[in-house]
Amino acid sequence: MAALVQQEDKLAMSSDELLEAQLELYHHGLAFVKSLALKAAIDLGIPDAIHSRGGGGATLSELVADIGIHPTKLPNLRRLMRVLTTSGVFSVSGSGDAACYKLTRVSRLLVSGGLSPMVVGFLYPQYVAALSDMREWFTDERATAMSLFEVANGRTLWELAASDPTTGTALQAAMDADSRFTVKNLLTDCGASVLSAVRGPLVDVGGGHGATAAAVASAFPHLKCSVLDLPHVVASAPAHEGDIRRRRYVEYIPPADVVLLKWILHDWKDEDCVKILRRCKEAIPSRDAGGKVIIIDAVVGSASSSQGIISKETEVLFDVYIMNIDGIEREDHEWKKIFVEAGFTDYKITPTKGLRQIIELYP
């Protein structure tokens, strides 16, 4: 009893502290509004509208005219932009009617051809619906063998993407956008050494429509690249990406010097990752003969990704986001355990400034 009273005393706070705590609590509770304001800006085409005005930026009335917003909504647009400038998505200079909005390095990535499909994908209704109610999944006996996504939507994300073209298209658009951006900045710039010495064929497992393989092939023309993915994904791939060979992957990975797994293993539980990696190992030659698996995924808490609150928070947010489909964002020691179990002898992590690192895995 005495210990309990002591504990309560320690928690006693002044009114100021309580008000600050309430503010902090509401700040957390309202964090989703930031995401939704960002999506609204994309849906309205605000990044493109500012971009098309050139370096001078755009005032609210210019945005209203360019985007086709009803003039009565101008004050509401100002409120939306206030959230987005406060969070650094856009910048603003001047005030009142002269306030001028510009792109920041963040919103530059949302201009057409950039990462908007990925941000829209984060907020995909079925995905958000599953995350909105985790109680049943955490507590119900019947939900133990199911992913959060399955509990909410009655089927897995991959089943939904296969049967519902809208979901399939949105998923691929998100992945294509991420791949184009990531490969350019990750593999062909900071991680160029990872691919420049590769001579033999490369197979991108779970490579979607082939955006990653196409970007790799264009940066390293000597590499013969092929893509494996599920039949409906291969069938819906556009035909314009050079001579990238697309194959349906279900059980077998064809022989290659390098197997690429970009943003694949974080979708799967440890035991599934071990199975996938064993298949990859069967497909590649020895290390001396140039065999390796390249994994592009987060390494939670890795030296470069643990810089600052943004990277720390994004890593753990992504982990819960991917928990939706039974995926996991892993720390170095968790990766190591999987690699050892799959029979690999060594690995090397090349750190990057972004969310994901490059892992080279050797047989």
Ligand X SMILES: C[S@@+](CC[C@H](N)C(=O)[O-])C[C@H]1O[C@@H](n2cnc3c(N)ncnc32)[C@H](O)[C@@H]1O
Q: Which residues are catalytic?
A: 266
Contact by Cβ (8 Å): 283, 261 = no
The one among 137, 249, 335, 339 contacting ligand X by CB under 6 A: 249
Least CB distance from residue 208 to ligand X, whole Å?
Answer: 4
Between 48 and 204, CB nearer to ligand X: 204
Between 117 and 363, CB nearer to ligand X: 117
58 strand-pairing partners = 101
Q: Name the one range near ligand X by CB under 6 A: 8-16, 204-212, 280-288, 336-344.
A: 204-212
Helix, strand, coil content of the chain in percent (nearest 5): 55, 15, 30
The one among 49, 109, 116, 229 contacting ligand X by CB under 6 A: 229
Examine residue 150 and tell whether it contacts ligand X (CB under 6 A). Answer: no
Examine residue 267 and tell whether it contacts ligand X (CB under 6 A). Answer: yes
Q: Name the one range near ligand X by CB under 6 A: 33-41, 80-88, 200-208, 331-339.
A: 200-208
Between 80 and 214, CB nearer to ligand X: 214
Least CB distance from residue 211 to ligand X, whole Å?
Answer: 6
Alpha-carbon gap, residue 351 to 85, rounded angstroms: 30
Examine residue 329 and tell whether it contacts ligand X (CB under 6 A). Answer: no
For the chain, the distance separating the N- and C-terminal CA atoms, rounded to the nearest angstrom, is 59
- Give the angle subtended at the CA of 338 by the CAs of 337 and 341, to the nearest 5°: 85
Contact characters 62-91, ligand X, x per CB under 6 A? ------------------------------
Contact characters 156-175, ligand X, x per CB under 6 A? --x----------------x
Q: Count the site residues for ligand X by CB under 6 A.
A: 17
Contact by Cβ (8 Å): 41, 84 = yes
Examine residue 188 and tell whether it contacts ligand X (CB under 6 A). Answer: no
Three-state secondary structure of 233-260: HHHCCCCCCCCCEEEECCCCCCCCCEEE
Between 152 and 177, CB nearer to ligand X: 177
Between 121 and 363, CB nearer to ligand X: 121
Examine residue 207 and tell whether it contacts ligand X (CB under 6 A). Answer: yes
Least CB distance from residue 115 to ligand X, whole Å?
Answer: 12
Alpha-carbon gap, residue 258 to 284, rounded angstroms: 7
Q: Is 225 helix (H, G, I), strand (E, B) or coil?
A: strand
Alpha-carbon gap, residue 241 to 231, rounded angstroms: 18
The one among 101, 127, 181, 263 contacting ligand X by CB under 6 A: 263
Query: Which residue of this chain has its Cβ atom nearest to ligand X in the complex?
Result: 206
Q: Name the one range near ligand X by CB under 6 A: 51-59, 110-118, 126-134, 201-209.
A: 201-209
Extract the tokens encoding 219. 């940066």
The one among 233, 258, 294, 338 contacting ligand X by CB under 6 A: 233
Examine residue 118 and tell whether it contacts ligand X (CB under 6 A). Answer: no
Alpha-carbon gap, residue 254 to 202, rounded angstroms: 10
Alpha-carbon gap, residue 226 to 122, rounded angstroms: 28
Between 47 and 208, CB nearer to ligand X: 208
- Give the angle subtended at the CA of 9 by the CAs of 4 and 14, to the nearest 5°: 150
Alpha-carbon gap, residue 107 to 92, rounded angstroms: 13
Examine residue 230 and tell whether it contacts ligand X (CB under 6 A). Answer: yes
Least CB distance from residue 182 to ligand X, whole Å?
Answer: 7
CA atoms within 13 A on the CB side of 156: 13
Nearest alpha carbon to residue 87 among 131, 23, 27: 27
Alpha-carbon gap, residue 185 to 109, rounded angstroms: 13
Between 257 and 297, CB nearer to ligand X: 297
Contact by Cβ (8 Å): 206, 268 = no
Residues that bind ligand X (CB under 6 A): 158, 175, 178-179, 206-208, 212, 228-230, 233, 249, 262-264, 267
